[in-house]
Amino acid sequence: MYSKRFEKETFKAEVRDNVKTLYRKTIDEATPQQIFQAVSYAVKEVIIDDWLASQKAYDEADAKTVYYMSMEFLMGRALGNNLINMTAYSEVKEALKEMNIDLNAIEDEEPDPALGNGGLGRLAACFLDSLSTLNYPAYGCGIRYRYGMFKQKIENGYQVEVPDNWLKEGNPFELRREEYAKEVRFGGNIRFEKDPETGKDIFIQENYESVLAIPYDMPIVGYGNHVVNTLRVWDAKAITDFQLDEFDRGNYHKAVEQENLAKLIVDVLYPNDNHYSGKELRLKQQYFFISASLQAMIAKYKKKHNDIRKLHEKVVIQMNDTHPTVAVPELMRLLIDEEGLNWEEAWEVMSKTCAYTNHTIMAEALEKWPIDLFSRLLPRIYQIVQEIDRRFLIQVREKYPGNEEKVKKMAILMDGQVRMANMAIISGFSVNGVAKLHTEILKNQELKDFYEMFPQKFNNKTNGITQRRFLAHGNPLLAGWITDRIGDGWLTDLSKIANLKPLVNDEQARREFMQIKHKNKVRLAEYIKKHNGIELDPRSIFDVQVKRLHEYKRQFLNILHIMYLYNQIKEHPEMSFYPRTFIFGAKAAAGYQRAKETIKLINSVADVVNNDRSINGKLKVVFIEDYRVSNAELLFAAADVSEQISTASKEASGTGNMKFMLNGAPTLGTMDGANVEIVQEVGEENAFIFGLSSQEVINYENQGGYNPLDIYFNDWELKRVIDQLMDGTYANGDHNMYKNLYNSLLNTQCTARPDMYFILKDFRPYAEAHKRVEEAYRDEQRWSKMAILNTACSGKFSSDRTIEEYVTDIWKLKKVYVPSGQ
Residues in contact with ligand 26Q by CB under 6 A are: 117-120, 123, 270, 272-277, 282, 359-360, 365, 367, 434, 463, 651-655, 673
Q: 545: burial class by Cβ within 10 Å (0-12, 13-18, 19+)?
A: buried
CB distance 475 to 523 below 8 Å: no
For residues 619 and 621, give the distance between their C-alpha atoms in angstroms, rounded to a whole number. 7
The percent helix, strand, coil of the chain (3-state, each to 5) is 55, 15, 30
* In the complex, minimum distance from the CB of residue 412 to ligand 26Q, in angstroms, rounded to a whole number: 17
Min dist CB 282 to ligand 26Q, Å, is 5
Pick 360 or 724: Cβ nearer ligand 26Q: 360
Closest among 421, 448, 437, 423 to 363, alpha carbons compared? 421
Query: What's the CA gap between 485 and 134, in Å, rounded?
Result: 24
Q: Which one is catalytic: 368, 659, 761, 785?
A: 659
The verdict on whether 359 is a catalytic residue reads yes
Rounded to a whole number of angstroms, the minimum distance from the CB of residue 117 to ligand 26Q is: 5
Q: Of 120 and 134, which CB lies nearer to ligand 26Q in the complex structure?
A: 120
Catalytic residue among 359, 561, 600, 785: 359
The one catalytic residue in 44, 77, 521, 548 is: 548
Residues 389, 367: Cα–Cα separation, whole Å: 17
Distance CA 319, CA 456 (A): 18
Q: Any idea what DSSP says for residue 577?
A: -
- Toward ligand 26Q, which CB reaches closer, 91 or 164? 164
Catalytic residue among 146, 510, 553, 554: 553
Quote the CA–CA distance of 381 and 187 in Å, as a whole number.
Answer: 10
Q: From CA 284, how far away is CA 307, in angstroms rounded?
A: 31
C-alpha 592: how far from chain center:
19
What is the rounded distance in angstroms from the CA atom of residue 379 to the CA atom of residue 465?
Answer: 40
Task: Please state the closest distance from residue 319 (CB atom) to ligand 26Q, in A.
Answer: 13
Neighbours of 724 (CB within 10 A): 20
The letter for the amino acid at 479 is A
Examine the residue annotation and report whether 438 is marked as an active-site residue of this protein: no
Minimal distance in Å, beta carbon 639 to ligand 26Q? 18
Q: Nearer Cβ to ligand 26Q, position 461 or 770?
A: 461
Which among 518, 513, 491 is positioned nearest to 503, based on CA atoms?
513
In one letter, which amino acid is 192?
Answer: F
Nearer Cβ to ligand 26Q (660/742): 660
- Cα–Cα distance measured from residue 360 to residue 738, given in angstroms and rounded to the nearest whole number: 28
Q: Which is nearer to ligand 26Q, 276 or 582 (CB)?
A: 276
Helix (H) / strand (E) containing 176: strand 175-176
Q: Which of 716, 657, 663, 659 is nearest to 689 (CA)?
A: 657
**Whether 230 is catalytic:** no
**Residue of 547, 550, 628, 770 marked active site:** 547
Q: Using CA atoms, how far apart are residues 211 and 262, in angstroms rounded to an integer?
A: 6
655 is catalytic: yes
d(CA 47, CA 67): 21
Nearer to ligand 26Q among residue 32 and residue 416 (C-beta): 416
CA–CA–CA angle 719, 721, 723 (5° rounding): 65
Which residue lies nearer to ligand 26Q by CB, 457 or 650?
650
Q: Which C-beta is closer to ligand 26Q: that of 258 or that of 649?
A: 649
Q: How far is the C-alpha of 83 from the C-alpha of 90, rounded, in Å?
A: 8
Asked if 309 is an active-site residue, the reply is: no
Instruction: Work out how close the CB of 116 gets to ligand 26Q at its nearest, in angstroms, rounded to a whole number.
Output: 8
397 is catalytic: no
The residues, any chain, with a CB within 8 Å of residue 251's CB and separated by 6 or more, are 244
Minimal distance, residue 362 CB to ligand 26Q, in Å: 8
CA angle 243, 245, 247 (to 5 degrees): 140
| Strand ranges for 416-478 from DSSP E | 417-419, 430-433, 458-460
Shortest reach from residue 380's CB to ligand 26Q, in Å: 23
Q: Which of 357, 492, 581, 655 is catalytic?
A: 655
The nearer residue to ligand 26Q, 640 or 651, going by C-beta atoms, is 651
Shortest approach of ligand 26Q to residue 360 CB, angstroms? 5
Question: Do residues 706 and 761 lie in contact, with contact meaning Cβ atoms separated by under 8 Å?
Answer: yes
Task: Return phi, psi of residue 433, to 5°.
Answer: -90, 175
The CB density around residue 683, as the number of other CB atoms within 10 Å, is 12
Residue nearer to ligand 26Q on the CB measure, 359 or 620: 359
- Tell me how far apart the alpha carbons of residues 22 and 43 are, in angstroms, rounded to a whole number: 15
Instruction: Please report the beta strands in 239-394, taking only residues with DSSP state E, as ranges in sequence order.
Output: 315-320, 354-357, 368-370
CB of 298 to ligand 26Q, least distance (A): 27
Nearer to ligand 26Q, 103 or 557 (CB): 557
Please state whether beta strands 580-585 and 228-238 pair in parallel, antiparallel, or not at all (unpaired).
Answer: unpaired
Burial grade of 669 (CB within 10 A; 0-12, 13-18, 19 or more):
buried
Q: Of 441 and 528, which CB lies nearer to ligand 26Q in the complex structure? A: 441
Closest contact distance (angstroms) between CB of 445 and ligand 26Q is 16
Q: Which residue is at the shortest CB distance from ligand 26Q?
A: 119
CA distances 48 to 9, 90, 142, 173, 222, Å, are: 20, 21, 21, 10, 13
Question: Minimal distance in Å, beta carbon 461 to ligand 26Q?
Answer: 9
Task: Report the chain's terminal Cα–Cα distance, integer Å.
Answer: 12
CB atoms within 10 A of CB 56: 13
Measured CA to CA in angstroms, residue 435 lies from 459, 546, 693, 797 at distances of: 10, 20, 16, 11
User: How do 175-176 and 368-370 pair as beta strands?
Assistant: unpaired
Q: How far is the CB of 118 from ligand 26Q (least distance, A)?
A: 5
Q: Which of 432, 316, 307 is nearest to 814 (CA)?
A: 316
Catalytic residues: 359, 547-548, 553, 655, 659
